Amino acid sequence: MKRLLFILLVCNCFSAIAQVPVLTGAERTDAYLPLLQGKRVGMLVNQTSIIGNSHLVDSLLQRNVRIVKIFSPEHGFRGEADAGEKIGNTKDRKTGLPIVSLYGKHRKPDATDLADVDILVFDLQDVGTRFYTYISSLEELMEAAAEHHKPLLVLDRPNPNGHYIDGPVLDTAFRSFVGMQPIPTVHGMTVGEYAKMLNGEGWLRYKAQCELTVIPCANYTHRTLYQLPVKPSPNLPNMASIYLYPSTCLFEGTVFSLGRGTEKPFQVYGHPKLPKNLFSFTPRSMPGAKSPVLMDQTCYGYDLSHEAHADNKIRLDWIINAYQLYPDKEKFFNAFFNKLAGNKELMQQIKAGKSPDEIRRTWEPGLAAFQQVRRKYLLYEDF
């Protein structure tokens, strides 16, 4: 009987531990409110910057934090803009605060933007891939903070794809806003860890050092499969799209549709020229996808939504299959593909008929070297 009670007690303890909720950096207000007290605060935030059901901006205003300016990334402050859509400066309807867009030509705050700011706060929900541009916005903000001697506070959030690393490490000859540093496609880091890496590796412009403070998450490890409470951008509406995104985003560098303008963005792929006995879908103009690729054309291809789960590798077989099926192979890729891939080799490997395993083997040295660097900056127990 005593043994049974002991086993039940142990099981209950493990159950309680398993159910401890993750706390984001933003939710740990006691850890950072003293740093904001009496300061004029500028915030790089969007619709993912929440504490419970409240936007971080609203929550901090209620706590008498003096927010003077909002900076917004790709997709805008409320997260409603298309990918790549130009967004001008405006005012927030709810608070009246000025919003400075940091997407397009004006990606980095300048002296005028920061003249009335004492401290900067970054709080965006990333999805853990090199080409998701929130980490590029982070880098630009860190450079501006260093240049203008403004401290930066990063409120960390879990990485929903933080349980693995994979993909080719960026060749810096292909550096762009969808890939600014020599990291793999899936980097397995939170934004807080990545910010530490940018500083520590001297990757900021002129090897500048940002005065950085990271408020880490609580109860999070790199084995935690974190479910996002808010969609991070218009075309990543659910966890299926987020898990598939590292693989299906490569279709942005081809003539194919990957489902923008449908109910399953980043969860399907297809083209009108594929066999008509395959799964079909038709991209339409809609909020967040006003002019999707192949709009109003019936596309034939594949629905991957049933294959979406927390995998530990990029699926190359999908894009290889699409290339093999497409009849006009010389027009399959566009100029964006090498920027997404981070090199010129992946396109050449697909054209040469290499298998996923053959391609993956060429990534191994770069991934092993990156893993050694990454380890120096981890804030959480690794996978």
As a residue count, the chain comes to 383
pLDDT-based confidence at residue 1 (cuts at 50, 70, 90): very low
pLDDT digits (tens, 9 = 90+) for 29-52: 999 999 999 999 999 999 999 999
Instruction: Give CA–CA dist 216/340, Å, rounded.
Output: 29
Instruction: Give CA–CA dist 215/306, Å, rounded.
Output: 36
Write down which residue in 170, 201, 227 finishes a domain: 227
The reported pLDDT for the residue numbered 337 is 98
SS3 254: strand
Residues 254 and 198 in one domain: no
The reported pLDDT for the residue numbered 64 is 97
The reported pLDDT for the residue numbered 80 is 57
Res 295 pLDDT > 70 = yes
Strands (E) located in 56-139: 66-72, 90-91, 98-101, 119-123
Q: What is the CA radius of gyration of the chain?
A: 22
Residues 264 and 218 in one domain: no
Residues 186 and 62 in one domain: yes
Residues 115 and 74 in one domain: yes
Res 215 pLDDT > 70 = yes
- Residue 268, sorted as left (phi over 0), alpha (psi -120 to 50) or beta, turns out to be beta
Residues 306 and 190 in one domain: no
Q: Which residues of 69-106 are buried (b: 16+ CB within 10 A; e: fewer)?
A: bbbbbbbbbebebbeebebeeeeeeeeebbbbbbbeee
The reported pLDDT for the residue numbered 6 is 42
Q: pTM score, two decimals?
A: 0.92
Domain contains 154: yes
- Of 53-57, 102-106, 148-152, 235-239, which gets the smallest average pLDDT? 102-106
* CATH at 360: 3.90.1150
The predicted model gives 280-303 an average pLDDT of: 96
Residue 88 CA, chain-centre distance (Å), reads: 22
- Of 81-90, 258-267, 300-309, which gets the smallest average pLDDT? 81-90
pLDDT-based confidence at residue 311 (cuts at 50, 70, 90): confident
Average per-residue pLDDT for the chain: 93
Residues 166 and 298 in one domain: no
Domain contains 71: yes
pLDDT digits (tens, 9 = 90+) for 56-109: 999 999 999 999 999 998 766 765 555 555 566 788 888 899 999 888 788 899
Strands (E) located in the chain: 40-45, 50-51, 54-55, 66-72, 90-91, 98-101, 119-123, 152-155, 212-215, 268-271, 279-281, 299-303
Residues 265 and 330 in one domain: yes
Domain contains 5: no
What DSSP state is assigned to residue 227? P
Total domain count, the chain:
2
Query: Which residue range forms the structural domain that includes residue 330?
Result: 239-371
Residue 145 CA, chain-centre distance (Å), reads: 21
Q: For residue 334, which amino acid is it?
A: N
Res 15 pLDDT > 50 = no
pLDDT digits (tens, 9 = 90+) for 339-351: 999 999 999 999 9
Q: For residue 286, which amino acid is it?
A: M
**Phi and psi (nearest 5°) for 269?**
-145, 150
* CATH at 125: 3.40.50.12170
Domain contains 75: yes
**Phi and psi (nearest 5°) for 358?**
-65, -40
Residues 215 and 260 in one domain: no
